[in-house]
Amino acid sequence: MAESKVAPKIIPGELALEGVSKSYGALHFRKDVVQNCSFTIERAKLTVMVGPSGCGKSTLIRLLAGFEQPSAGRITLDGAPVTEPSRDRLVVFQETALFPWMTTWENILYGPRARGELTRETLDFGEFLLAKVGLQDFRDKYPLQLSGGMQRRAELARAMINNPKVMILDEPFRGLDAMTKELMWEYYSRLYEENRRTNFFVTTDIDEAVFLADKMLVMSNIPTQVRAVIDVDLPRPRRLIDLVESDRANDIKKQALSILHAEAMRSFSRGSKAAADFVEAYLKRASRA
């Protein structure tokens, strides 16, 4: 493909967490958000983490990105400990974090320019990515002039140009309307299927998780731990229409939902508002399935 010519070789990495804990505050104000959490984000796989909102997923992301340090345990990328933010582990945030004062093109080139790596090859790769995310006509527009879906795609390109070893996506499609969201799923999984980077995708949406994942981590509510690991062995390339008719997809969904339900009931009995919302949403969805 054309990419082999312009794109530097992708070297996917493997992120591992071993017994990671994170707590905030001290003494009896102490709150353990993540407790003794271990899992691996496998090389060249799309790992999706799904859990109720407010379950500490964003905290985990800050730890993985290196914005914060764990209180205990180890995070390693290909065996080397993670200590600070780095281009190896780039985060695509919830809602847009594109710089509003830069055009699409300037945003995409931000990383290479910051590191002084603006070579002919990088510019070509930038052009390639711009075309890949379908924003050639919007190259000189500011983020406020783009639609929600375009902003997400621009941000994907801004991350990919840095060739991170791991891409971390924190509920990237949250806030998009249902139609755009489904288009973005297909679009994003096509991107992934083409280049097979290591991707870590965090979501609260079980349909999104089943559609995208190679491997699904189902999380418990605070303190955050992995409740179950589910292999999503659906064939690729995936299309939304195939998944709707797939019994296997529905089985996986039911499996994940039952774990999440038990988890939500547990926190509901402890009086969490987020959990109450989740139970309600779950019941609606279960009656539909």
In single-letter form, the type of residue at position 243 comes to L
Strands 198-203 and 226-231: unpaired
Give the H or E element holding residue 167: strand 166-170
Question: 211 and 243 in contact (C-beta within 8 Å)?
Answer: yes
Q: Work out whether 91 is an interface residue with other proteins (CB under 8 A).
A: yes
Q: Which stretch binds other proteins (CB under 8 A): 82-90, 206-214, 224-232, 246-254?
A: 82-90
Task: Compute how many residues bind other proteins; rule: CB under 8 A.
Answer: 26
Q: In angstroms, give the least distance from the CB of 154 to other proteins.
A: 12
Q: Work out whether 241 is an interface residue with other proteins (CB under 8 A).
A: no
- Which of 36, 54, 76, 141 is in the footprint of other proteins by CB under 8 A? 141
Q: How many residues does the chain have?
A: 289
Shorter beta-carbon distance to other proteins: residue 65 or 264: 65
Q: Which stretch binds other proteins (CB under 8 A): 10-18, 88-96, 254-262, 276-284?
A: 88-96
Question: 207 and 40 in contact (C-beta within 8 Å)?
Answer: no
Q: Which stretch binds other proteins (CB under 8 A): 20-28, 42-50, 90-98, 270-278?
A: 90-98
CA angle 281, 282, 283 (to 5 degrees): 95
Q: Work out whether 51 is an interface residue with other proteins (CB under 8 A).
A: no
Shorter beta-carbon distance to other proteins: residue 59 or 225: 59
DSSP state of 9: P
Structure tokens at 207: 């349909």
- Which of 20, 90, 133, 279 is in the footprint of other proteins by CB under 8 A? 90
- Which of 6, 16, 44, 97 is in the footprint of other proteins by CB under 8 A? 97
- Which of 101, 120, 137, 247 is in the footprint of other proteins by CB under 8 A? 101
Q: Work out whether 114 is an interface residue with other proteins (CB under 8 A).
A: yes
Q: In angstroms, give the least distance from the CB of 23 to other proteins.
A: 21
9: nearest Cα among 237, 189, 165: 165
Q: Work out whether 111 is an interface residue with other proteins (CB under 8 A).
A: yes
Residue with tokens 């926190």: 267
Q: Which stretch binds other proteins (CB under 8 A): 2-10, 99-107, 120-128, 251-259?
A: 99-107
Q: Work out whether 65 is an interface residue with other proteins (CB under 8 A).
A: yes
User: Which residues fall within 8 angstroms of residue 119, CB to CB, at 6 or more apart?
Assistant: 112
d(CA 163, CA 177): 29
Q: CA 46 → CA 55, 78, 155, 214, distances in Å?
A: 21, 16, 18, 5
Q: In angstroms, give the least distance from the CB of 191 to other proteins.
A: 19
Structure tokens at 284: 């609606």
253: nearest Cα among 225, 193, 213, 220: 213
Q: Work out whether 24 is an interface residue with other proteins (CB under 8 A).
A: no
Site for other proteins in 143-182 (CB under 8 A): 143-145, 158, 162
* HSE-up (13 A, CA, CB side) for residue 139: 11
Residues near other proteins (CB under 8 A): 65-67, 85-87, 89-91, 93, 97, 99-102, 110-111, 114-115, 141-145, 158, 162
